[in-house]
Amino acid sequence: MQLSLFDQVTDTNVRNLNPLQPHRRTGLKLLDLFCCQGGATRGYQLAGFNVTGVDLHPQPRYCGDNFHQADAIAFLRSNMDWIRREFVAVSASPPCQRFTNAQRIQAREHPDLIEPTRALLIELGLPYVIENVEGAPLRKPITLCGTNFGLRTYRHRLFELGNGFEIAPLPHAPHGQPTVKMGRPLVTGDFYHAVGNFSNVDYVRRDMGMAWASREGIREAVPPAYTAHLGAALLDHIHAVAA
């Protein structure tokens, strides 16, 4: 029996899937706001979307199909009609520094871009995903963990789903392995926490399925496995609504 795309994405090691294989692409377009180097983008490609990224900074390593350098919120606000015509869904990863433990310790001020992003996405009307870290003020988010996808990192991320798109949360396995302490070189098989000046970048690239990304890009990334899972469910939702 041939697996559905959803089963392939969730049951097959995401690192072995090639998003550029023609049979994996549906022609449907997704807009990825605050895309950075494209961790989330690659997952949506694996699910079958053509992905256009938007980021404030140049992203020469971006892995998506198209890229616009722009303020993501301004881009969204100024291009509503065009986005509705061109895309079937939007994903957004507003900067998370305001909600991290490091920010609370250092007492630095960072803007909260989640609320204005959400307001515009609700107005837009397309199915959306907003991603952020634990502690961010997302509405009824689901949590994904690296253990859901066989990764060697836990990297919890929250996902708010909106404008009719819903998905059941995955069961969360206990964290049975300790992560390597900061400063100790990573070796193959280690559980890692890819923050700061982490070592063995190639090992982390292989594990997360982000061969194109720099150390900085990996630090900020949503693991592609997470959005491959969400993207497959999003395609199911879009097809169900259109039926």
Asked whether residue 61 is assigned to any structural domain, the reply reads yes
Closest CA to 202 of 193, 189, 213: 213
pTM of the model: 0.89
Number of domains in the chain: 1
* Contact status, residue 143 vs residue 172, Cβ threshold 8 Å: yes
Residue given tokens 């995401």 in the structure block = 14
Asked whether residue 212 is assigned to any structural domain, the reply reads no
Angstrom CA distances, 50 to 59, 61, 159, 202, 217, stand at: 18, 17, 21, 27, 21
Q: What's the pLDDT at 136?
A: 95
Q: What's the pLDDT at 8?
A: 44
Range of the structural domain that residue 69 is part of: 5-174+222-242
Walking along the chain (243 residues) 10 residues at a time, the average pLDDT comes out as 39 58 83 98 95 98 97 99 99 78 54 96 99 96 96 97 98 92 86 92 94 95 97 97 93
Q: How does pLDDT run across 11-22, given as a tens digit for each residue?
A: 445 555 667 677
Q: What's the pLDDT at 97?
A: 60
Q: For residue 92, what is the domain's CATH number?
A: 3.40.50.150
DSSP 191: B
Asked whether residue 214 is assigned to any structural domain, the reply reads no
Asked whether residue 215 is assigned to any structural domain, the reply reads no
Segments in the chain forming alpha helices (H): 5-11, 39-47, 72-78, 80-86, 101-106, 114-124, 201-208, 215-220, 224-242
Q: Tokens for 165, please give them.
A: 């798109």
Asked whether residue 151 is assigned to any structural domain, the reply reads yes
